[in-house]
Amino acid sequence: MTGRAPLRQAEAGIIIATLAVLVLAADQFTKYLAIENLPPEEPVHVIGDFLIFYLIRNPGAAFSMGEGVTWIFTIALAVVAAIIVWLAATRVRSRLWAVALGLLLGGVLGNLTDRMFREPGFPVGHVVDFINTPWMMPAIYNVADIFIVSMMIAVALLVLAGPHLDGTRPRKQAEAEATPAAEDAD
């Protein structure tokens, strides 16, 4: 990694906001296209059994679990979005963290938008899902889900081995703290 200085607060916020808006727009646009062009609950084989479009309205979470408590997912998505916005405003100075959190926020906002504004209505709207890759997993999902899952993996990797939210690196911080102690011993 380069020895670039951490981002300023405004820079991190701009990265996060820009990426979130782009993912939200891509998610909502692809859902619009799916609703307008796909027959409900009928498979459309795009690439054989590798990629199938299958339009459904999902009241639950992954694998349609929790269909009776949709409002809980709305609250959970809103809390996650609020935490990311708070982190963006107060803590994030790392480029990697800004990118990961921006893409994650976009995915969260994509599904939150469905929960708030789609039928049957606020706060229990059904999420539009239409992507099916049966070779990979037995689920139907959307663009927002792709970003949520992949960025949660990225966040886990950043927590384990990446820079801190403030842009410092664990090794460099440990070396910086050890250097003054070694100089004092001289």
Active-site position among 49, 114, 145, 186: 145
**Distance between CA atoms of residues 175 and 186, nearest Å:** 17
Active site residue 49: no
The secondary structure of 59-82, three-state, reads CCCHHHCCHHHHHHHHHHHHHHHH
**Distance between CA atoms of residues 67 and 126, nearest Å:** 9
Active site residue 166: no
**Distance between CA atoms of residues 53 and 131, nearest Å:** 5
Residue found by looking up tokens 């990697």 in the block: 96
* Entry field: residues in the chain: 186
Active-site position among 27, 49, 114, 129: 129
What phi, psi does 129 have (nearest 5°)? -120, 145
**Distance between CA atoms of residues 130 and 133, nearest Å:** 10
Both tokens of 176, joined, read 């910086």
Q: Where are the alpha helices (DSSP H) in the chain?
A: 9-37, 70-90, 95-117, 143-161, 170-185
Tell me which residues are annotated as active site: 129, 145
